[in-house]
Chain A
Amino acid sequence: MKILALDSSGLVASVAVAEDDTLLAEYTVNYKKTHSQTLLPMLDEIARMIELDLNTIDAIAVAGGPGSFTGLRIGAATAKGLGLALGKPLIKVPTVDGLAYNFYGSNRIICPMMDARRNQVYTGIYTFMNGDFQIIEPQMAAAVAEIAGKLNALGREVIFLGDGVPVYREMLKELVTVPYQFAPAHLNRQRASAIAALAMEYARAGKFETAEEHRPEYLRMSQAERERAARRQAAGQ
């Protein structure tokens, strides 16, 4: 099983090619958010280095949200275009699950958090038990205080990662009462290799989708929809 993986959900742009339990190439850039200009040239670069024939790929995995709306769509449209042109299926990996997979095998509590603005983070709670990936709280948009409350209630040691950490570090120090660490540089951001590795599990479970049906999971309505829903609710009461 050869998988091409993309993650452009946040500040990081990352592409990887993995075959079964071997990572053939990965290219990750965390420098300015110009994914529209960089993502495909990055793929082209690693494809040339590993002499990749795109037609030998079995599936295209993509971080399927949540994340930056525009970033998600750049990844989605790239994956959908590749899928359409190559006639290959897609594998949609939840972005926060993909981040948690950076800590494969850890028996600590894994808590990724991405800055979602409006005083929220995209987050979730995960761990591994006997090597199996456990989703304790599936990915969600939540206030930092809410997720801190859930972590405190679990009463176990936590590892934090994601681009929400530098934004909310002080708040976490204040709110979290269980022991915790912040992940180091090589593990604390989106990695397409983690998307590829988790996508292998999805592939084994037959969890594919067509390029045509793929769409990102935003976990949030657009502002216009939110305001319209609020107006309708106010008018109905």
Chain B
Amino acid sequence: MNEKDILILAVESSCDETAAAVVRNGREVLSNIISSQIELHKLYGGVVPEIASRKHIEKINQVIREALETAAVTLDDLDAVAVTYGPGLVGALLVGVAEAKAISYAKKLPLVGVHHIEGHISANYIENKELEPPFLCLVVSGGHTHLVMVKDYGVYEILGRTRDDAAGEAFDKVARAIGLGYPGGPKIDKLSAEGNPEAIRFPKAKIPDAPYDFSFSGLKSAVLNYLNGCRMKGEEIVPADVAASFQKAVVDVLVEHAILAAKELGTDKLAIAGGVASNGTLRRTMEKACAREGIAFYHPSPILCTDNAAMIGAAAYYEFRNGVRHGLDLNAVPNLKLGER
């Protein structure tokens, strides 16, 4: 191992994935262990915070042990411990935060608290070794829809955000309405492949004077109204067409806003991140649009789009280099703002 290598153990427990990873120099993933609770939460049609927190406590030591074993390192080899401290479910976050603090304290290792979304953005560094700020990043997940300018490592400017539902939330709600169940994103993506995206014209919301902001609640209502209308008139509903048309409406807006921002800001690098970034239609549409505009397009593999700790280790490395250290009083901050220090 190189003398100057920085080895970070990262822990993530902000929602329904218990995850730990060992990352070298921010970009080399030595291990990335994820214990998903998704099957458990399917019974309830969504993530139940108390159940998620209970599962995190049961799994966290095992996940950390596996991360260390897979990376073939011990705690004594580490330079820092990193942990997601927000945003997310407070009870879930607290498990990772308390665990990481105790490890950092017992091993006298520096502690680096990481913003979950900054982690998602940093997932792009792992497989794109040449990617460096500044670049534009569209963050889309079940809880977030942000258009972010990454000005430098650890320096973020939010250009646009959703005014109501997150993109992933709209996917979940529409999936439920057409009987696909939870989680909605992957199910709609799959079913859309069999449907006609031009079958139904759903509205694409534009916010006056805020060209980079998003709104998905009107689209969600339009889908629900369409379904009700069909049922009242006794018309046949083709779920694949509804899924494909809805997905197209979401993806078109996401891509249009991102490309508009890239052009106006004159950036030639655009990345996507977050759970919805593994959506096939979004990837293909964004890729085509970027190619047309001469913009380099970056995206993480699906495993790095989902909640994971490797991305937290990637973000933590640059925070660590910037001198960010947290104390033993670090708390979970469920509504932590992007770029807040």
Task: Tell me whether B328 is interfacial, beta carbon within 8 Å.
Answer: yes
Within 8 A of B (CB), among A31-90: 34, 36-41, 43-44, 54, 69-70, 73-74, 76-86
* Given A212-B62, A216-B57, A225-B51: A37 touches B331 (CB 8 Å cut-off): yes
Q: Which residues of A contact B56 (CB under 8 A)?
A: 73
Verify A82–B102 contact, CB threshold 8 A.
yes
A170 and B91 CA atoms in complex are apart in Å by 33
Interface size counted on chain B using CB atoms at 8 A: 37
* Given A81-B103, A82-B106: A222 touches B54 (CB 8 Å cut-off): yes
Verify B101–A228 contact, CB threshold 8 A.
no
Contact among B44, B62, B64, B91 for A224, CB-based, below 8 A: B44
Q: Which residues of B contact A37 (CB under 8 A)?
A: 329-331
A39 and B328 CA atoms in complex are apart in Å by 9
Q: Which residues of B contact A74 (CB under 8 A)?
A: 94, 98
Task: Tell me whether B100 is interfacial, beta carbon within 8 Å.
Answer: yes
Task: Tell me whether A108 is interfacial, beta carbon within 8 Å.
Answer: no
Verify B48–A224 contact, CB threshold 8 A.
yes
Q: Mark B76-120, 1 if CB is under 8 A from A, else 0.
A: 000000000000001100111111111101110000000000000
A212 and B62 CA atoms in complex are apart in Å by 6
A167 and B98 CA atoms in complex are apart in Å by 30
Q: Which residues of A contact B131 (CB under 8 A)?
A: none
Q: Which residues of A contact B328 (CB under 8 A)?
A: 40-41, 44
Residue from B43, B51, B329 with most neighbouring chain A CB atoms (10 Å) = B329
Verify B57–A77 contact, CB threshold 8 A.
yes
* Given A40-B105, A224-B44, A224-B50: A212 touches B98 (CB 8 Å cut-off): no
A132 and B267 CA atoms in complex are apart in Å by 75
A58 and B99 CA atoms in complex are apart in Å by 19
Contact among A73, A79, A85 for B94, CB-based, below 8 A: A73
Contact among A73, A85, A212, A223 for B103, CB-based, below 8 A: A85
A39 and B98 CA atoms in complex are apart in Å by 9
Q: Mark A215-230, 1 if CB is under 8 A from B, else 0.
A: 1101000111100100
Contact among A77, A212, A215 for B102, CB-based, below 8 A: A77
Verify B61–A211 contact, CB threshold 8 A.
yes
Verify A223–B50 contact, CB threshold 8 A.
yes
Q: Who on chain A is nearest to B48 by CB?
A: A224
Verify A80–B58 contact, CB threshold 8 A.
no
Q: Who on chain B is nearest to A34 by CB?
A: B331
Q: Who on chain B is nearest to A71 by CB?
A: B94
Verify A228–B44 contact, CB threshold 8 A.
yes
A228 and B43 CA atoms in complex are apart in Å by 9
Task: Report how many A-B pairs have Cβ atoms within 8 Å.
Answer: 109
How far in angstroms is the closest Cβ of chain B from A167?
22
Contact among B60, B64, B103, B329 for A38, CB-based, below 8 A: B329
Q: Which residues of B contact A228 (CB under 8 A)?
A: 43-44
Task: Tell me whether B65 is interfacial, beta carbon within 8 Å.
Answer: yes
Verify A78–B61 contact, CB threshold 8 A.
no
Verify B91–A73 contact, CB threshold 8 A.
yes
A224 and B98 CA atoms in complex are apart in Å by 25
A83 and B75 CA atoms in complex are apart in Å by 13
How far in angstroms is the closest Cβ of chain A from B76?
10
Verify A81–B100 contact, CB threshold 8 A.
yes
A85 and B68 CA atoms in complex are apart in Å by 12
* Given A222-B50, A224-B51: A84 touches B61 (CB 8 Å cut-off): yes
Q: Which residues of B contact A69 (CB under 8 A)?
A: 50, 53-54, 91
How far in angstroms is the closest Cβ of chain B from A85?
4
Q: Who on chain B is nearest to A85 by CB?
A: B106
Q: Who on chain B is nearest to A80 by CB?
A: B61
Q: Which residues of B contact A224 (CB under 8 A)?
A: 44, 48, 50-51
Task: Tell me whether B8 is interfacial, beta carbon within 8 Å.
Answer: no
* Given A85-B75, A222-B50, A224-B44: A80 touches B60 (CB 8 Å cut-off): yes
Q: Mark B317-341, 1 if CB is under 8 A from A, else 0.
A: 0000000000111111000000000
Verify B57–A81 contact, CB threshold 8 A.
no
Q: Who on chain B is nearest to A36 by CB?
A: B331
Q: Mark B31-54, 1 if CB is under 8 A from A, else 0.
A: 000000000000110001011011
A185 and B105 CA atoms in complex are apart in Å by 32
Contact among B91, B102, B329 for A78, CB-based, below 8 A: B102
Verify A84–B65 contact, CB threshold 8 A.
yes
* Given A212-B65, A222-B48, A224-B48: A85 touches B102 (CB 8 Å cut-off): yes
Cβ-closest 8 pairs across A and B: A81-B102, A85-B106, A77-B98, A222-B50, A212-B61, A81-B99, A40-B328, A224-B48
30 A/B residue pairs, CB under 8 Å, sorted by A: A36-B331, A37-B330, A38-B329, A41-B329, A44-B105, A69-B53, A69-B54, A70-B91, A73-B95, A73-B98, A74-B94, A74-B98, A77-B94, A77-B95, A77-B96, A78-B99, A80-B99, A81-B98, A81-B101, A84-B103, A85-B103, A85-B105, A85-B106, A86-B106, A215-B58, A222-B50, A223-B50, A224-B44, A224-B50, A228-B44
